Structure 1
Amino acid sequence: MDGITQAKQDAVTVEFVKPGPLQQLPLPRELVQLNDDELAKLEKSLVRKLDSCLLPAVIILFLMNILDRNNIANAKIAGLPDTLGISNAQYNTCLMIFYVGYIITQIPSNLIITKVRPSLYIGLVTAAWGIVSMCQALTHNFTGLLLCRFVLGLVEGPFLPGVFFLMSCWYKRSELPPRIALLYGANMLASAFGGLIAAGIVARMEGKLGRPAWEWLFIIEGSMTIAIALFVIPFIPDYPGTKRWWLENEHQILADWRLQNENAGLVDDDPKSLIWGLKQALLDPKLYMFIVLQMALITAQSFNNFFPSIVGTLGYNDTITLLLTAPPYAFAFICSLAISFHAAHEQERGFHIAIPLAFALLGNLLAMFVPSTGGRYFSMFLMTAGSYSPYNLCVSWLSSTLPRPKAKRATSLAIVNLMGAGVAHFYTSYMFPDSQKPRYYAGGGVMSGACLVCAVTALGIKWHLNRQNAELERAEAEEGRLAGSAISGMKTGSRPDGVVAFRYVH
């Protein structure tokens, strides 16, 4: 009896040992011979290779994604409505219908991508939207343009959530914010260079081969997308454990181990069906907080499809107007990088999202009420930098908050992107009618409200995750229970619990 009692005490003593630092997961047998310095060197080599191949490939593709999505705004300045004989309401409907197609394919696509080769899938999807983008130049009326925009949304929908998911399979959560900042910087650079490219095409291609300049805009940018998509496929990896010519076997093993190591030791796999992964995402209340956050943020950015028209209210000609669209986006790109690197260094998200939105709110108010041309143009810098800078933090924050299993993370990213970058555009496409030039009070008012909602939601999520961290610490200290079942969303006993400590980033 005494022996049983002593054994029980020993078991309790072991059970209540508080976990050490995150780096407590045993090394795979292929890497066990490496000392700490060799392991650190191998990890630096892995990250350097990812930054040299994966990151540039998806940045270039996203740049083309935004160019092909938003070039209709530049085409409008170049005379598309007059050539096709469409009204302002019909043009806005063409903007909106893109997002109908966009939301249809996102969740199914991010479930499929967990079972196929992402390199081929992402590359071929990109080439497909390049073809559809070129087809917009062949339209002759409202119906043709409407159908093209709908199909373009269908084939562009899989790209962004798929890329976010793929990056989360390779980069640690501390590495994601600055890299998603660089990725999302392609959005701002595309918006900046899109205006410059459009200005060049409008100035030089009008009437070439009997075509108006806006048709050449679609043809040139669409053909560029196809060529680039086929070129970058070899530089996009699949999942850790699959061969790639620029990744050694040790890099593959290390990539898988280090992500397990920071996610309670849980393997990034899906032992059940894809529908099960979808269900796990929908049952997590944190998903709905991020949906509100993302929808409010995209609403705060809703000027982007109308930005050339908004800048046009300053009173300059078409070419100068297109050129003036570039500097605000270039400034937003710089601010986004600075905020993301600082957030990654500080391991903080809530304040780094809320504070830029305060500047976006100020920009909206200045745009509506400041009378001078210089003041209104300055307000556009605040609008773009304040609303674009937090985006990459929201995406990386979601990925690290719902990290396991693979299908749950992929579905969560798709759902949030669907609601934010998709459904939000159903109403934002009609927020800037030409009848409200030059102040656009309705659009400015809605964006101002969205800035407030987004900032408050970010602080609310921060508070909630801070409380959950306190609960995890209490469970570890008092019950000896680690975070594996808590972050995986699985029933206790369905798989091994976590083996290392886990904390939410807030």
Structure 2
Amino acid sequence: MSKIDVHDVQLVETVTTTSDEKPLAAVDIRVPLPSELIHLSLEEQDILEKHIVKKMDRRLMPIIIVMFWLNILDRNSIANAKIAGLPKDLNMNNAQYNTCLLIFYVGYVLTQLPSNAILPMVRPSIYIPLVTCAWGLMSMAQGFLHNFQSIMVVRFFIGVLEGPFFPGVIFLLSCWYKKEELVKRIAFLYAGNILSSCFGGLIAAGIIGGMEGVGGYAAWRWLFIIEGLVTVAVGILAMFLFPDYPRTTRWLTKEEGLFAEWRLANEVAGIVDEDSSGIWWGVSQALRDPLTYLFTFMQMMLTTGQSFTYFLPSIIKTLGYNNTITLLLTAPPYAVAFLGSVALAYSSSKRKEFCMHICFPLIISVIGNILAMTVNGTGGRYFAIFLMAFGVYVVYNVNYAWVSSSIPRPRAKRAASLAIINLMSGGATHFYTSYLFPDSDAPRYYMGGSALTVAVFFCAMTAITIRFYLARLNKKIEAAGGDAEAALRANKGHTETMKAFKYQL
């Protein structure tokens, strides 16, 4: 049964009955449909929503996952090239190699916030594929360099071009999916990261093991050339597949686009996912929100906990294996982490809970880091790598889903918040993590292991802090009133919705 209250908000009354209990009534607040959709019954709305979500999953997610997979592959390929002779051929010492890791993130940081600030004003279907082609070309260029200075310049520009991708894609997904839907989608997206790390080692093993001297080039040069060429090809394909926003995407009908936009507005009591206050208004609103700072610190600590990945081939090399076996051995820890990430994301989505799904796996990573610094024997040290990777990688998708679902509309604020969080965690964090695993610390890497242990612990503590903070906000929401009038009242003047947007813990 449905009715319209005095504030023109549709109240949907649902009744459930069990054999042992009396009927219970619950009220679901729905904002008015656009005039073009007013003819739809509640049942027709539910059917249309399921159809739209399925279409989004088919058309939106596959190309984004592939592009993200290549984003991580191109970024991390230098770690595989290192053990195949890159430093020797370019006359680089260990400090210069670490500086090459660092300079990438200098460029990465510079473009994140400006890019996300302008993204709501441009067409993502053109902008993001063009950026992808550009970083693919720069990745290919690494295969033709001959000294430290040239690779420094190219790595900087790869960072500049890769920087807009991840925060831009997270922002775009939040323009399409409701907050409870984001968890699974970001899980599948971040699975691209884990699989990229997994298959990156396997691909490198094949290229480095079989293409040495082909065409007069060292195998590590072919690694950059081939992976960059694939990225350019996918970027060109993405121009025909990548979406814009629900109302302007060509593979949705007018009715589907309007409904896709309405269902997101309905989730937050009618806040339309756009505003006319300008780019820098969104930045200023993001900087005023304590959640921006809490999530930024938590994400920075988690990224620090993952920073061993840029040195993993070198770490495994200390176990005594040749280059090909070393690269093959980088894959299994990521494969196990991938399976764990899917299971954890499913559990988090089903239970609608984030905090404990983050904290418990992180304990495993703490144990793994401690074991890596203390145990003897090849088997024990390799097992420790599994534990190190498992905890920090399985929680990442849940962590970012929590971030994305906790930053509500309007669009400019959400874009700025996500850019700031990724700028600091995905960029600035690497200003120090690039130097945590010097070759002189092999094989135990006490400095890196200790730093990662502390960072993972702080990440868990911050998650608990955020949980208590959001719980307090939810109490304020309840105190604001339990009817549609209170929800509408909270929407005035660029304020966030109070009743219809309830934070998940």
Deviation readout 1:305-354 (Å, 9 max, x if unpaired) = 01111111111111000001011111111111111111111111111111
| Cα distance change, pair 462–452 in 1 and its aligned pair in 2 (3 A) | same
CA distance in 2, matches of 1:494, 1:502: 16
Q: Which residue of 250, 257, 281 corresponds with 1:252?
A: 257
Gaps of 5+ in 2: 1-5, 10-24
* Cα pair 2:482 2:499 within 8 Å, conserved: no
Is 1:195 matched with 2:201?
yes
Any residues of structure 2 matched to 1:470-481 within 5 Å, and which? 470-477=475-482, 481=486
**Structure 2 CA distance, aligned partners of 1:147 and 1:264?**
48
Give 1:382 deviation, angstroms.
1.3
Q: Which of 56, 62, 78 is the aligned partner of 1:56? A: 62
Report the TM-score, using the length of structure 1 for normalisation.
Answer: 0.92
Q: 2:340 is matched with which residue?
A: 335
Aligned equivalent of 1:425, options 427, 430, 433 = 430
Alignment of 1:206-245 (within 5 A): 206-244=212-250
Counterpart AA for 2:278: S
Aligned partner of 1:84 among 80, 87, 90: 90
Answer yes or no: is 1:172 the counterpart of 2:172.
no
SS in 1 for 2:177: coil
User: In structure 1, how many angstroms separate the alpha carbons of the residues matched to 2:76 and 2:402?
Assistant: 26
Corresponding position of 2:16: none
Aligned residue for 2:158? 152
Match of 2:373 in 1: 368
Q: Which segment is superposed worse, 53-62 or 43-52? A: 43-52
Q: Which letter does structure 2 place at the counterpart of 1:227?
A: A
1:377 is matched with which residue?
Answer: 382
1:5 corresponds to = none
Matched to 2:36, the amino acid is: E
Q: In structure 2, what is the Cα distance between the partners aligned to 1:288 and 1:101? A: 22
Per the alignment, do residues 36 and 310 of structure 1 end up closer, same or farther by CA in structure 2, a change over 3 Å counting? Answer: same
Give the AA of the match of 1:167. Answer: L
Are the counterparts in 2 of residues 22 and 261 from structure 1 also a CA contact under 8 Å?
no
TM-score normalized by the length of structure 2:
0.93
Q: Which secondary structure state, in structure 2, belongs to the residue aligned with residue 114 of structure 1?
A: helix
Change in 2 beyond 3 A, CA 1:484/1:235: farther
Is the Cα contact below 8 Å between 1:265 and 1:499 reproduced in 2? no
Answering whether residue 107 of structure 2 is matched by residue 108 of structure 1, we say no
2:315 is matched with 310
2:21 maps to none
> 1:311–1:321: 8 Å Cα contact kept in structure 2?
yes
Number of matched residues? 486
CA-CA distance at 1:147 after TM superposition: 0.5
Contact 1:20 1:501 in 2 (8 A): no
2:37 aligned counterpart, secondary structure? coil
- Once the two structures are TM-superposed, the CA of residue 500 in structure 1 deviates from its matched residue by 5.7
Q: Structure 1: how far apart are the matches of 2:489 and 2:319?
A: 56
Q: Deviation of residue 477 (structure 1)?
A: 4.5
| Residue 264 in structure 1 maps to residue 263 in structure 2 | no
Tell me the amino acid that sits aligned with residue 501 of structure 1. Answer: A
Q: Would you say the 8 A contact 1:483–1:497 is kept in 2?
A: no
Higher relative contact order (CA 8 A, sep 6+): 1
Equivalent of residue 40 in structure 2, options 17, 34, 45: 34
Letter in 2 for 1:79: G
Query: Hey, what's the Cα distance between the residues in 2 that align with 1:296 and 1:483?
Result: 38
Q: Match of 2:110, as an amino acid?
A: I
d(CA) in 2 for partners of 1:393, 1:344: 9
CA offsets 1:3-27 (integer angstroms, 9 cap, x no match): xxxxxxxx9xx9xxxx974542222
Q: Does the aligned pair in 2 maintain the 1:264–1:484 contact within 8 Å?
A: no
Q: Does 1:298 align with 2:303?
A: yes
The one of 134, 138, 152 aligned to 1:128 = 134
Pairwise CA distance, 1:480: 5.9
Q: Verify the 8 A CA contact 1:484 1:497 in the aligned structure 2.
A: no
Is 1:322 the counterpart of 2:321 in the alignment? no
Match of 1:416 among 416, 421, 427: 421
Q: Which amino acid aligns with 1:149?
A: R
CA contact 1:201–1:217 (8 Å) conserved in 2? yes
Q: Name the counterpart of 1:47.
A: 53
Partner Cα distance (1:140, 1:201) in 2? 20
**What is the distance in 2 between the residues matched to 1:478 and 1:334?**
43
Measured on the aligned residues, the alpha-carbon RMSD in Å equals: 2.2
Query: Aligned equivalents of 1:437 and 1:468: distance in 2?
Result: 47
Distance in structure 2 (CA, Å) of the matches to 1:275 and 1:231: 33
Cα distance in 1 for residues equivalent to 2:498 and 2:406: 18
Q: 1:357 corresponds to which residue?
A: 362
- Structure 1 gaps, min length 5: 1-10
